[in-house]
Amino acid sequence: MRVRLLFIGALLACSCVAVAVGCVAAAPETAPESPSTEFGDPSDPSGSETPSTSPDTPARPEPSRQPTLDERAAQKVAELTLEQKVAQLFIVRPESITGVDVATQAGPATEEALATYPVGGIAYFQQNLIDPDQTRTMLANSQAYAQEAVGLPLFTCVDEEGGTVSRIGGNPGFAIQNVGDMAAVGAAGDTAQAEDVARTIGTYLRDLGFNVDFAPDADICGDPATDVMALRSFGTDPQVVASMVAAQVDGFASAGMLCSAKHFPGIGGVMGDSHEGAIVSEKSLDELRADELVPFEAAIKADVPFIMVGHLSLPNATGTDTPASINPAIVTDLLRTELGYGNLIITDSMGMGAVGDVTPDQVGVAALEAGVDLVLMPADFPAAYEGVLDAVRDGRLTEDRIDESVQRIVKTKLSLEELE
């Protein structure tokens, strides 16, 4: 009996404990404690677990800084010989370095020529361009030879403004329609159309292997009845021309095509043709600022890669008859300094009559002394090339001056990689 009573008491004691536990569980909830994990209280930074380190644990290496485009260009320039750097300052016709009558292919003669003269670029004309396959092969081979010679691409250049200045559009060998004269585009007053025209041109040129188009034309037309630029210019209003030029710079860029605003400081409205002889503007510098320079300022704001300087003489603006392309008052003082242009400055063709008074061995020297970066198509390239080398050796030009331009050239060429 006593044992039975003890058993019953034990049961009652267990029940009380269970009830007590149940009462605790049912008690009203209080504010929960802050959650914690094995890494400590996240609201308390001091509670976070700090990864342990020991002398035996190697430090994680810092990621290496990639060189800037300017640094890469400077390194490349430092690797070039003086002769290679001077060659980079010229853009020539293929016949000028190969000696052939009409170049329509790039084979052993081109390979040898580019090994001897690793020029900055080659400009092609309609006589060089037969059909798409021939053009692609010729340009691709030339690029390969240039890379082999100096480790840099060529500027493969063409004049493709549209309308009267077209080497591809309307060429019977290419199934590509000519986009028409820019005078009609300007008259329409639609910047979106101007941009689309440039994008169209840039797209088919890039497909063929070109990377530089000497367009758009930034000249302001004078009298449409007499101005030789009448069909090539966007019009007579500086603001209209400026808006069209800026739109085309954007259009070419969207197609991955380098372009060049021309012909600084503006040859529209001037009588004569610089292909044949001297052309002169009587305008003052203030008059140029009010009109002719407006489209070029728009192009600079749009980050145009090249500006081509024409052969216009401006005695009232500069106090001399020296053509703009070899005149430091225009190239350095006005374009580089006053307008703040930092990209590539190229001459118009140095084989034109307007610069015919300059001897073949001095055309490159004169352009470089004026502040130009690239000398376009001298009539006698070997003489112009040797003339620059002689000027450096004689001290008339410093190697630092050569490096200044080659740095811009190489930087622009390296930027082509980003367009691929």
Question: What whole-number percentage of the chain has pLDDT above 70?
Answer: 84
Domain 69-419 coded CATH 3.40.50.2000: no
pLDDT at 304: 98
Higher-pLDDT residue of 19, 259: 259
- Closest listed residue to residue 375, CA positions, set 86, 139, 30, 152: 86
Q: Is the dihedral of CA 8, 13, 18, 20 positive or negative?
A: positive
At 250-276, the pLDDT tens digits run 999 999 999 999 999 999 888 767 777
- Closest listed residue to residue 349, CA positions, set 420, 273, 402, 255: 273
pTM of the model: 0.84
21 pLDDT above the threshold of 50: no
Q: What is the dihedral of CA 286, 291, 294, 296, to 10 degrees?
A: -90
Alpha carbon 4 to its chain centroid, in Å, reads 104
Give the mean model confidence (pLDDT) for residues 13-17. 35
Give the mean model confidence (pLDDT) for residues 356-361. 90
For residue 264, the cross-strand partners are 309
pLDDT at 419: 66
Q: How far is CA 154 from each of CA 84, 146, 321, 388, rounded to the nearest angstrom?
A: 13, 6, 34, 20
23 pLDDT above the threshold of 90: no
pLDDT at 36: 38
- Closest listed residue to residue 69, CA positions, set 407, 419, 420, 341: 407
At 151-188, the pLDDT tens digits run 999 999 999 999 999 999 999 999 999 999 999 999 99
What value does the mean pLDDT of the chain take?
87
Residues assigned a catalytic role? 275, 348
Q: Where are the domains of the chain?
A: 69-419
Rounded Cα–Cα distance for residues 365 and 12 (Å): 116
pLDDT at 336: 98
Q: Which residues contact 111 (CB under 8 A, 6 or more apart)?
A: 141, 145, 148
Tokens for 109, please give them.
Answer: 């003669």
Which long-range contacts (C-beta less than 8 Å, at least 24 apart) are formed by 397-402?
Answer: 397/365, 397/368, 397/369, 399/82, 399/85, 401/368, 402/82, 402/85, 402/86, 402/89, 402/368
pLDDT at 356: 75
Rounded Cα–Cα distance for residues 48 and 45 (Å): 5
